[in-house]
Structure 1
Amino acid sequence: MTSQSNHQTAHIPKKEGQSKAVWAVFFACIIAFMGLGLVDPILPAIAGQLHATPSEVTLLFTSYNAVMAIAMLITGVISTKLGTKVTLLVGVVIIALFSTLGGLSNNVWAIVGLRGGWGLGNALFVATALTAIVTLSKSGTAKAIILYEAAIGLGISVGPLLGGELGSISWRGPFIGVGVLMVIAFIFLITLMPNTKKQEAAQRPATSSSSILDPFRAMKHRSIVVFGLTACFYNFGFFTLLAYAPFVMGLDAHGIGYVFIGWGVLLAITSVFMAPKLQKRFGTVNSMCVMLTTFAVVLLVMGIWSHTQWVIIAAVIFAGALLGNNNTLITTAVMNAAPIERSTASAAYSFLRFLGGAIAPYLAGKLAEWFSPHVPFIVGGCFVLISVIFVLMNRHHVNHVDSVEAGH
């Protein structure tokens, strides 16, 4: 795992001269996002061993994303009070605690509840980590976001391998594994990242005050709402693929892990190397719409050929390339969308996008139970197409994001 991470990170340009604080957050992000990939290969195993239906197991994603969406509204206030470093550490501790407790549970409903606590920790970590990397980076917003998305891709790509190995022993292994990895992340942050609370306070305008209402006030900027709702609809497709595809692959934990390794590697590579080139040549909104449209087509293909194993496997892996591009494009766009603090913009956007991530997994499981395994993917694809239509209808509110980045 370590050698693979080091091999991948070696491709990130060193000439950027990032500080130790940025690299500490970067490596902590890799470990944090391993948690997502670690759990994915064991979803069918949890359903089988705890006698749960697919829709009940997908609630592990629903409770996680629902709590994360709501918690995003308070991350700015907490970060202002505690400072970036302490907020990151608190998030890591919460993730470690609830993931370990989940691994020790014997009831699917207890795990669903504990995943909600995990979502709280992840909200504190994810929102603050993005803001920390963008703020502390010496290379501008675009390159900082590429670094952040690279950490996500690396974590997701390495996680399934470890999740498949641990999951083949017991479904509890990946949950406890996340707890152990969070301890490592805690050590990275507490030793390498300086406490910047005083500097953050000094840099904050005297008239600035953090409020729980700030993310709602941020939504008066139409561009934030447009990108947030676009991501909300897009996440219906993203989490349908992530939460429901394992149930139709017909593979064990090892096999699912290997499929999602391919998915995550393509996600990491495209988010770092391809997305910036697309953005520069075709523009952020144009590139985003092409990636989303292609992803919608992939989901529709999965819906039509749900019982053809090789189609599902190939589609999941190929989708990683589309998602890596889109994640970098839309995150960059949000950071440049409105003349407000990045932490506030991130909180407002994340609240909207994770609402889709909360509804989609459970809806996918229920649609399969009510109708057939084909329907979740078709519905997910339709929601992704809606996201394209929505952003195009509101294009005049978001076209400025390219000119903002060009001015950096």
Structure 2
Amino acid sequence: MNLLHQPKAVLAVAFSCVIAFMGIGLVDPILKPIADSLGATPSQTSLLFTSYMAVMGLAMLITSAVSSRLGVKLTLLIGLLVIIAGAGLAGLSDSIGAIVGYRAVWGLGNALFVATALAAIVSASRSSVRDAIIFYEAALGVGIAAGPLIGGVLGAISWRGPFFGVSVLMALAFIVTVLLLPKSTTKPKPSSLKDPFRALRHRGLLGIAITALLYNFGFFTLLAYTPFPLNMSAREVGLVFFGWGLALAFASVIVAPRLQSVFGTLPSILLALIGFAAVLMAMAIWTDEKAVLVAGVVVAGLFLGINNTLVTETVMKAAPVERGVASAAYSFVRFSGGAIAPWLAGYLGETINDHVPYWVGAAAVLLGASVLIASRKHLRHIDHQPGHEIPLSTRPAAASALATEHA
């Protein structure tokens, strides 16, 4: 896929995706500065992740219904406006409770945006759906990698800086989207709010969703708690998680497809889960060694990148339901792990010691691997289904179906 020969609409949405996904890691470098400035505990500060992920997960249940009625472009623009407001108001806040609340607003906007971004890229792209997904993954990876770096640079000036930075960048993305993204000429079939719950009756989809919940538990333990035992400056923490983001992007786009072609989808996911659990156990044992924590964060990015790509592709094929509905159901379940883990990690670190959060995270990831093994008979068809090479004539319908795939 030639990135330089894509329509302006695709590049516009990709640019917006990069900024949207900065929000995941942007607050990492400023967690400790916020705690120090506002007199908050690690568990209170970690609620910045909990509120964001909890609202994002719940909102995923409605994104398919909303976008199928309002259309992709309008849904994207509403999501961008909500993010602009949430990030800007968080930067103006003077209490940890207010910031947590505005992060929840931010999560709502992010759900509306990312749930429809892939649909816009697929429908406007000149390439196959598989290539569009890879392009989307690249934008996601750049955003996740850049978030901690920008958060560290702006956070070195003030902990408010990253919030204002996102608000300004999202305003630019809003203008670009208005000018360059055409309104869709096709109207997708409206979906029901009950559809995601019906989809979870399929054992394969439920199994992969629970697996993702448990691995996200480990993921957000790493993401939200590690800045505290690292005890570095905002700039230094930003650089550490920038390395994590680069590893995640590389594994998502390069490593995951190669492992899949050699070992198959489920064995590759299982390998990544075991590898990630091993990293968390090493961090649990040597929590007092900053070099181990830094190395663990970066190496974990490789295993997380593999999972991000292959688990999402598995969701696409796990159940005989529309892909957008399957993804909404899956996202609702998996973000529960991202909502619970940050607060629990902070609480365990405060009340017991810094080692325990990583042990609990590792146990959750290993439990996820066990769920995947138990669900394998319902997922054996994954590698026997055709790829995502969808003809141009059916692309608008495919875009609608893929609306929430990689949220």
Q: TM-score, normalised by structure 2?
A: 0.92
Deviations 1:248-276 (A, max 9, x none): 11210010011011111111111111111
Q: Paired residue for 2:98? A: 110
Q: Paired residue for 2:120? A: 132
Give the AA of the match of 1:59.
Answer: L
CA shift, 1:332, in A, is 1.4
Which of 1, 12, 15 aligns to 1:24? It is: 12
Please say if 1:392 is aligned against 2:373: yes
CA shift, 1:107, in A, is 0.2
SS in 2 for 1:210: coil
CA shift, 1:33, in A, is 0.9
Q: Paired residue for 1:376? A: 357
Distance 1:157 1:387 in 2: 25
Deviations 1:297-330 (A, max 9, x none): 0001101111101000011011111111110111
Give the AA of the match of 2:16.
Answer: A
Distance 2:68 2:292 in 1: 48
Deviations 1:316-371 (A, max 9, x none): 01111111111011111112222322221211111011011110100100111121
Which of 298, 301, 306 aligns to 1:325? It is: 306
CA shift, 1:27, in A, is 1.7
Give the AA of the match of 1:38.
Answer: L
Please say if 1:224 is aligned against 2:202: no
Q: Which shows bigger deviation, 130-139 or 177-186? A: 130-139
Q: How does 1:235-384 map to 2 (within 5 A)?
A: 235-384=216-365
Q: Paired residue for 1:94? A: 82
Q: Paired residue for 1:70? A: 58
Q: Paired residue for 1:178? A: 166
Q: Paired residue for 2:393? A: none
CA shift, 1:80, in A, is 1.1
Compared CA separation, residues 15 and 249, structure 1 to 2 (3 A): closer
Give the AA of the match of 1:74.
Answer: I
Size of the alignment, in residue pairs?
Answer: 389
Distance 1:395 1:69 in 2: 25
Distance 2:119 2:319 in 1: 15
Distance 1:216 1:135 in 2: 27
Q: Paired residue for 2:404? A: none
Q: TM-score, normalised by structure 1?
A: 0.92
Compared CA separation, residues 323 and 177, structure 1 to 2 (3 A): same
Give the AA of the match of 1:133.
Answer: I
Compared CA separation, residues 365 and 328, structure 1 to 2 (3 A): same
Give the AA of the match of 1:116.
Answer: A
Unaligned runs of 5+ in 2: 390-407
Give the AA of the match of 2:139.
Answer: A
Is the contact made by 1:102 and 1:175 (CA closer than 8 Å) also made in structure 2? yes
Q: Which shows bigger deviation, 79-88 or 209-218? A: 209-218
Distance 1:285 1:20 in 2: 36
Q: Paired residue for 1:6? A: none
Please say if 1:84 is aligned against 2:72: yes
Distance 1:323 1:135 in 2: 28
CA shift, 1:34, in A, is 1.4
Give the AA of the match of 2:55.
Answer: V
Is the contact made by 2:243 and 2:298 (CA closer than 8 Å) also made in structure 1? yes
Percent identical among aligned pairs is 54
Unaligned runs of 5+ in 1: 1-12
